[in-house]
Chain A
Amino acid sequence: MPVDVNLMVGGEAGQGVQAAGYVMAKALARGGYYIFADQDYESRVRGGHNFFRIRAADREIGAISEALDVLVAFNGESVDLHKKELADKGVVVFDKDKVKNIDGSINHFGVPLEQLAEDAAKNKIMSNVVALGVTMSLLDYDLDLLSNAVSEHFDAGDAGKANVAAATAGYQYARANFKGDFIAHLSPIGQSKRMLLDGNEAIALGAMAAGCKFVAAYPMTPSTSIMEYMAAKADDFDLVVVQPEDEIAAINMIIGAAFAGVRAMTVTSGGGFCLMVEGLGLAGMTETPIVVVEGQRAGPAIGLPTRTEQGDLEFVLHASHGEFPRAVLAPATVQDAFWTAVKAFNLAEEYQMPVIILNDQYLASCYATVEPFDLSRVEIKRGQLLPESETARSGEYRRYEITPSGISPRALPLQQGALVVSDSDEHDQEGHLIEDAETRTAMMLKRLRKLEGLRKEIAGPMTYGPAQAEMTLIGWGSTYGALKEAVDLSNRDGLKVNLVHLNEIWPFPAEAVTRALQGTKIRYAVENNATAQLAHLLRAETGYQVTGKILKFDGRPFSPDHIVRELKKEVA
């Protein structure tokens, strides 16, 4: 029997939902399971309702599936909200002294969680870790693997020991009281050498591997954890992370730093990006290489601050006044997020332009097991950087020299023999401001010419499923995992479905997309937004129209099951 188990930990903010969920995922990953986990939280520090969903399987997975095998409920509200999601044999693990709304129709395991935490660790706050022990026991999982993950997460010191005691108490309680009532038998299936990390961590690692030395960013969900991760590592990795007064300062700071010669990045969400738009144009005009991570959340304005959406695609494509080249990359998976970050820095420097990584709340905070990134494959392509030996010899330098590729060799300030002059006004080849029509035209053409080379660097769409299908799903960015599984589920159910998915969006890979769509009959745009923004772009760039749209803009990610249900409705 293939293993495929869905677990959810639910409770209030402050009850340790995230910690319990993360440690469970980590312990399962250590035992060789593939993990996919996502998080749902509210914009509050205490109270409300949060959940952490984990799917563990013995094959690679890229999305959560809806039916819950286990619901670990830290409060009654979690039971009320999620009991309808339980699978036929799904069970609820809960604190029997606190949660009283369990009706007899639900399979349940009531445990005195707080009492056990108090007895084992003298701290009832550790009831979340007791629940973890109970759950892993019911899954017939290995206690040592769990204890190690607990101890690592809560530090090896006294806190770690107390938490291990709490986990062990829960584990043994379940062994003693629910003899033989296993939900599943998840014995470890080998020593995992996979990483468990979320999309933001993958972006941060990718940026650091690519040699990003400067980050300026203003905290904004869902991108804050990128800057927090990098700030924590900054002193050991010789990088600088600055939290300035606002997003406007952030983008202008990285422009200053990139102009001086370091790889620089800012991270934000749509609202913060709104403030950065003017700066984006400055990077375009001055041809300064910067990387901007835009982690989309549901807008407009403050919208749903902690929730996901793909509502900013057309915004980032067109952000800022005037016309200038840019690249827009939209990572599809956690693994892809790392390589996207690496590529973003290379494209930014090779083509001397802003590169936007269009992330979203879902990918930012979902965890996946991935093979360790092979750092020997990380290429650093800094583009045409003139060495000081050359500028010192020639003594002549023109920052915006007109070239066939549109790319002007770059010198850095404080290089002997080269004075680097950059201007936000239209400028001549030396960088000084001009107003004449001829120079303006030449400079616009020079900048836009960079797109010709850039176009060749942009990957075509990822395709999945049978080559010949009756229906083609078209998606982009973080929905890849759900779409891929939806294709499998649909084909299993007798539909003939395949997928064309973009993770590199601008310059639009029109030829490759056209090839991928040739011969398709029915095309569905599947997007986490209300207006099918990729479908607009597709029509503008290729002439292909979609025949239907499956859209979701409630702040929640797609599940494969949801996509299949919608598809079946369309077919019916």
Chain B
Amino acid sequence: MAKISDYAGKPPAWCPGCGNFAILTAVKRALVELDIEPYRVLMVSGIGQAGKLPHYTRCNVLNVLHGRTLPAAAGAKIANPELTVIAVGGDGDGYGEGGNHFLHSLRRNHDITYLVHNNQVYALTKGQASPTSDLGFVTKTTPHGAWMPLNSLAVAIAAGGSFVARGFAGDVDHLVGLIKKGMQHRGFALIDILQPCVSFNHKNTYAWYRERVYKLEDTGYDPGNRLAAFEKSQEWGDRIPTGVIYREDRATFEEQIPALKKGSLVKQKIDPRQVEVLIQEFL
């Protein structure tokens, strides 16, 4: 049985009160509750405060470049589908620098779980606007205010996301449930997590979110309808929905690859003589 202590890592270097602590706790709890041992898990992370999360736990880790989390995670998953792959990044990392990878990973439906720590600001570089900063959000690089924010959940639904959810770092129990659902989902599971940044975002604070968030499951909402989900994804402001916004059952990328039907590529033997038949084709 996996235990929380199995996942004990280095002490985090985040600011006290950072929403990332709650996400770290939720990830560990989800893994333990699903009884997955650390050696079966690969966390792939980008750059930003969120990208450091895997260092603060214990599992296999591939910390890559800013924005490049998803292709690296997909490559590892294709090579060894037996790995439980969790991709971790921030809003700037995943929706800005890695935007193209975001779109196409959703479409391909790799069987990975993607946690986006969405604090609506660049924190590692000390407080610039991010793709999800609210309209008019003033920072040193956006003195006239940020432009219209990217609605990442709406984009995810439009791009073919098969599991699109929003969590809140201020509600760990709920977040644990969402991460577990995402990991159990067959295919690409996006969990956008509202994560208050105590140092650089003095607008979207714990209190600000608490006044607004509500749980979709308390409202009888059905996440199976794509158009309704798209409509729900537009809700932002006075009320902010959390929970699973859209879910569909669709073949994963890995399931559709004939070479993987025999199992992990990593386990397949290398035998140069197999190529002999191809040499014959050139004679």
Interface residues of A (CB under 8 A from B): 192-197, 201, 205, 208-211, 213-214, 216, 233-235, 237-240, 242, 244-246, 248-250, 252-264, 278-279, 282, 286, 372-373, 375-376, 378, 380, 412-425, 431-433
| Cα(A70)–Cα(B36), bound, Å | 70
Judge if B207 is at the interface, Cβ distance under 8 Å: no
A-B residue pairs, 5 tightest by C-beta: A256-B75, A211-B270, A253-B75, A413-B60, A195-B282
Q: Say whether B101 contacts A249, CB under 8 Å.
A: yes
Q: Would you call B39 and A424 a contact (CB within 8 A)?
A: no
- A425: which B residues are within 8 A, CB to CB? 63
Which residues of A lie under 8 Å from residue B270 when comparing CB positions? 210-211, 263, 380
Q: Is B220 part of the contact surface with A, judged by Cβ < 8 Å?
A: no
> Are A256 and B72 in contact, CB atoms less than 8 angstroms apart?
yes
Which residues from B are CB-within-8-Å of A375? 272-273, 275-276, 279
Contact, CB under 8 Å: B39 / A372: no
B73 close to A (CB within 8 Å): yes
* Chain B hits for A250, CB < 8 A: 71
Q: How far, in whole Å, are A155 and B77 apart by their CA atoms in the complex?
A: 38
Residues of B within 8 A of A248 (CB): 68, 71, 100-101
Query: Would A424 and B266 be within 8 Å (CB), given that A235-B258, A260-B76, A264-B79 are in contact?
Result: no
Residues of B within 8 A of A213 (CB): 79, 259, 265, 268
Do B272 and A260 touch across chains, with their CB atoms under 8 A apart?
A: no
A432 touches B38 (CB 8 A): no
Q: Which residues of B contact A (CB under 8 A)?
A: 10, 38-40, 42, 44, 47, 52, 54-55, 58-65, 68, 70-80, 82-83, 100-101, 103-104, 257-260, 262, 265-266, 268, 270-276, 278-279, 282-283
Known contacts A233-B278, A264-B75: A259-B62 contact under CB 8 Å: yes
Q: Which of A194, A234, A253, A413 contacts B71 (CB 8 A)?
A: A253
B272 touches A211 (CB 8 A): yes
| Chain A contact surface mostly | mixed
Q: Quick one: which of B55, B58, B78, B262 contacts A238, CB cutoff 8 A?
A: B262
- Closest partner residue, chain A, to B37 (CB atom): A416
Chain A residues within 8 Å of B54, by CB: 421
> Using Cβ atoms and an 8 Å threshold, which residues of chain B touch A246?
100
**Are B71 and A249 in contact, CB atoms less than 8 angstroms apart?**
yes
Contact call B60/A414, Cβ cutoff below 8 A: yes
- The answer to whether A238 touches B259 (Cβ under 8 A) is yes
Residue of B nearest to A196 (CB): B282
Q: How distant is the Cα of A239 from the Cα of B278 in the complex, in angstroms?
A: 15
Nearest residue (CB) in B for A245 is B104
Contacts of B78 in A (CB 8 A): 214, 240, 242, 253, 256-257
Q: Which residues of A contact B62 (CB under 8 A)?
A: 256, 259, 286, 422
- Chain B residues near A376: list those with CB within 8 A: 273
Residues B63 and A424 in contact, CB atoms below 8 Å apart? yes
- Contact assessment for A262 and B104 in the assembled complex, using a CB-CB cutoff below 8 Å: no
In contact, A256 and B61 (Cβ under 8 angstroms): no
Q: When chains A and B are docked, how far (Å) is the Cα of A417 from the Cα of B37?
A: 11
Quick one: given A262-B266, A420-B61, are A208 and B278 in contact (CB under 8 Å)?
Answer: yes
Known contacts: A209-B272, A419-B60, A433-B55. The answer to whether A412 contacts B266 by CB under 8 A is yes
